[in-house]
Amino acid sequence: MTKPRRYGLSKSRLTMFEQCPKRLWLAVHRPEEGELGEGAEAGFAMGHAVGAAACALHPGGVMIEAEPNLAAALAETRRLIDEGHPGPLFEATFEHDGVLVRVDVMSRDDDARWHVAEVKSSTRAKDYHLGDLATQVWVIEKTGIALASAAIRHVDTSFVLQREGDYAGLFADADLLAHARKVARGRPALVAAAKAVLEGEEPVVAMGDHCSAPFDCEFAGYCARDLPPGPEWPVTVLPNGGGKKWAAKGVADLLDLAEQDLSAKNARILAATRSGEPYHDRGGARAAIAQWPFPRAWLDFETIAPALPLWVGTRPYQQVPFQFSLHLEAADGTITHHAFLLTDGTDPRRPCAEALARVIPAEAAVIAYNAPFERSVLRNLARDVPELAEAMLSIEARTVDLLPVTRDTWYHRDQRGSWSIKAVLPTIAADLGYDGLEVKDGGNAQAAFLEAIDPATSPQRRWALDEALLAYCERDTWAMVAVARKLMGEG
């Protein structure tokens, strides 16, 4: 008889299995088929930074290294616990029934019972966190460890940084031990099922909502290769989930629908898709934009919202502007460009507010694309730089939005249901695309900023990053000018 192979399981692998058995199987047997989505690396880096901050709050703690391997970590954890180490222990390692877990933070109370915390960068405990915690509780208690609590240690958004690098008070605990124990009762069956899947052939699982919930699956592209080609224009291009009801009725092709069965906006999408001719309401665009007085300040911010606040007076995930681009258009059509960027690592809020107050005329209409974001940044600057609050709130009150005008007056089928500036721009001015830029989107901009302010970054590299950021943000505001001109029939 062939002896079953032993596959190491962990809480993350069990989470994979609960999301989709095929995801677990591929992660173990075909990991090379996985493709991480955009932003995945940044998410991992943020998680590591938050975890390191949580450990740093316990300077007397012991980090259990997996050197030379996890067996050594298991042995070291057992030794420290048996010798009565008071903790905290970081990455304490336990194994039961082939499932190995490493605990972010583990501390002992006066009654010799242990408290475990799973550190998350989220701002609250989420439903899917409970599975991770339940696996840890099940494994730890099966090794004979008495637990007093088991918590999701999450970021507390009420925290305000008072001293640079001092994150005392950043975290809050959601004790879920009772709930985790209930879930843990099903862990033996879950583990047995996961092992059975790993011993078998690649599972056959149809793609569906589970491919993106609770996480985007790195194997979605691999699984999609087996699907028959869909229509060129699926009903799912209808925005805001407008195609879901048709898909539920078995309609896959947008061109199979009739315009009279759709809302006015979706009917325009269908007509433009069917004909290949863009919908363009020049009169409506002119009437809307004519209400915006000159001079016109076309404005775009780039912001950073780190889980770990970088500057005194900021909160976790607070949007802090480190850059803006502004094209200032006079009534005679003359346009001048103004820019702000601060990458020396100091707090950019006051310099940003000062630059805005200096370059935006008091009577100018301020134009943004998806203006609620710019307005929120301006309101935050008014709160954080009270000496310039009046100026910031004046700019905020004069900020208007190009996005709804675009949505109401333009649609090209190549937008595929999106009116983001990056979807609209290629249909209006393909020569203004982002492909030739080093920084191509907001995520790239945030990564470039964090690299630029890193003390380890060389002056030469920082200069190159500055140039890339300036080029990207300028492209965003010039794109707005180009879109508006096209909407009015001037381009």
Residues 303-362 pLDDT 10s:
999 999 999 999 999 999 999 999 999 999 999 999 999 999 999 999 999 999 999 999
Q: What is the mean pLDDT of residues 274-284?
A: 97
Stated pTM of the model: 0.91
From the number of C-beta atoms within 10 Å of its C-beta (0-12, 13-18, 19+), residue 82 rates as: exposed
What is the phi/psi pair of residue 104, to 5°?
-60, -55
Burial grade of 267 (CB within 10 A; 0-12, 13-18, 19 or more): middle
Q: Tell me the per-residue pLDDT of 77-121, one tens digit each, with 9 for 90 and over.
A: 999 999 989 889 999 999 999 999 999 999 998 777 899 999 999
Does the structure show a pLDDT above 70 at 491? no
355: which 2 tokens?
């630059």
Which whole number is the average pLDDT over 289-297?
Answer: 98
**Alpha-carbon span 31 to 479, nearest angstrom:** 40
CA-atom Rg of the chain in angstroms: 27
Segment 209-216 shows an average pLDDT of 92
3-state secondary structure of 270: helix
Report which of 354, 461, 359, 486 is spatially closest to residue 410, judged by C-alpha positions. Answer: 486
How open is the CA angle 475-476-481, to the nearest 5 degrees?
90
User: In the structure, what pLDDT confidence band is assigned to residue 227 with cuts at 50, 70 and 90?
Assistant: confident
Rounded distance between C-alpha atoms, residue 390 and residue 411, angstroms: 38
Averaged pLDDT score across all residues of the chain: 94
φ, ψ of residue 314 to 5 degrees: the values are -105, 160
Averaged pLDDT for residues 206-229:
91
Domains of the chain and any CATH numbers: 9-198 (3.90.320), 235-275 (no CATH), 278-491 (3.30.420)
- Cα 483 to Cα 158, 402, 441, 476, distances in angstroms: 40, 9, 18, 11
N-terminal to C-terminal alpha carbon distance within the chain: 76
- Euclidean distance between CA atoms 478 and 432, whole angstroms: 9
State the CB neighbour count (10 A cutoff) for residue 303: 22
Q: In this structure, is the dihedral angle defined by the CA atoms of residues 43, 46, 47 and 48, taken in order, positive or negative?
A: positive
